[in-house]
Amino acid sequence: MAARNVSYGKCFVCGKRVAKSGMARHLQQCLSAHEPEAKRKERLFLIRAEGRYAPGYWLYLEMPARATLADLDGFLRDIWLECCGHLSAFEIDDVRYKLDTDMVDGMWEGIFGRSRRALAMEETRLDSVLQLGQTFYHEYDFGTTTHLKLQVVGEREGPHPRGNVRLLARNYAPIYPCSQCGAPAKWINVYEGELYCQEHAEESEDWEEAFLPLVNSPRAGECGYTGPSRRSLAFEEPDPVLSAQGQ
């Protein structure tokens, strides 16, 4: 049944459950219906981010057109990606935009040299490289890489979002079966690549060393990723009970 493949998420403006493909249109109507008229307005981009090879993980964000790529990178790290300070890059129209963290991967660049010229995220405003409808890409960690695909799906005049990014919608966590019993999985055994429920994870001989939590992120199970470090972002996780109804 085709309906099984529909990915649902939560609109944080009104609380409704909406299909991924209808969310951009929903948000445009929902914001104009629910948001009080702002005194000061500026140009905002509505951006959809998703796992490039795991499109069931997705976010809708609103950002000022004058914010930088570094602001967007920082938000993606906070909610989905950050494990140990790896390098990251955007690719927009065949140009790379990098942010050097001077941490784990910095030395590799020193050894292998810079293969391609890259511009700085911190110095690149969104409206200097993006326009409505445009698709672009992000990579986090050049070893165990998490690939994201992004698109500018809307544009409006509206109030400045606090912190330069407003999270408007997010997918409900997909539910996957435990490889041993079929109950909802909570853990990934990274040695085997198999999913486990709580009970079977604790029974596994690899329990002490090989398990990462199955978090709501395209980076689940990669490197040492265990979920967002900021409590405020964990709070914005949609209720998993509702996601079961979407299956």
Q: Which residues fall within 8 angstroms of residue 53, CB to CB, at 6 or more apart?
A: 147, 218
Q: Who's near 171: CB < 8 A, 6+ residues apart?
A: 7, 8, 9, 20, 56, 57, 58, 59, 216, 238
Closer to Zn ion by Cβ: residue 16 or 25: 16
- Asked if 180 is part of the footprint of Zn ion (rule: CB under 5 A), the reply reads yes
Q: For residue 136, what are its two tokens?
A: 């672009």
Q: Residue 84, interface with Zn ion (CB under 5 A)?
A: yes
Instruction: Compute φ and ψ for 190, nearest 5 degrees.
Output: -75, -20
CB of 206 to Zn ion, least distance (A): 14
Minimum Å distance from CB 98 to Zn ion?
Answer: 17
Cα dihedral 94, 79, 218, 107 in deg (nearest 10): 60
Helix, strand, coil abundance in the chain, percent, nearest 5: 25, 30, 45
The 202-231 contact track toward Zn ion, x by CB under 5 A, reads ---------------------x--------
Vertex 168: Cα angle to 162 and 173 (nearest 5): 125
User: Segment 6-35, which members bind Zn ion (CB under 5 A)?
Assistant: 11, 13-14, 16, 30
Residues 44-63 that bind Zn ion (CB under 5 A): none
C-beta of 148 vs 223, nearer to Zn ion: 223
Residue 85 Cβ vs Zn ion, minimum distance, rounded to whole Å? 8
103 belongs to the binding site for Zn ion (CB under 5 A): no
Nearer to Zn ion, 14 or 167 (CB): 14
How far, in Å, CA of 51 to CA of 3, rounded? 20
Single out the residue of 155, 126, 132, 127 nearest to residue 45, CA to CA: 155
* Closest listed residue to residue 161, CA positions, set 57, 43, 55: 43
Identified binder of Zn ion from the candidate list 81, 89, 126, 197, rule CB under 5 A: 197
**Residue 181 touches Zn ion, criterion: CB under 5 A:** yes
Residue 33: CB minimum distance to Zn ion, A: 8
> Angle at Cα 228 formed by Cα 56 and Cα 162, nearest 5°?
95
Which is closer to Zn ion, CB of 83 or CB of 126? 83
**Could you say whether residue 190 binds Zn ion (CB under 5 A)?**
no
Q: Does 178 bind Zn ion (CB under 5 A)?
A: yes
List residues binding Zn ion (CB under 5 A): 11, 13-14, 16, 30, 83-84, 178, 180-181, 183, 197, 200, 223
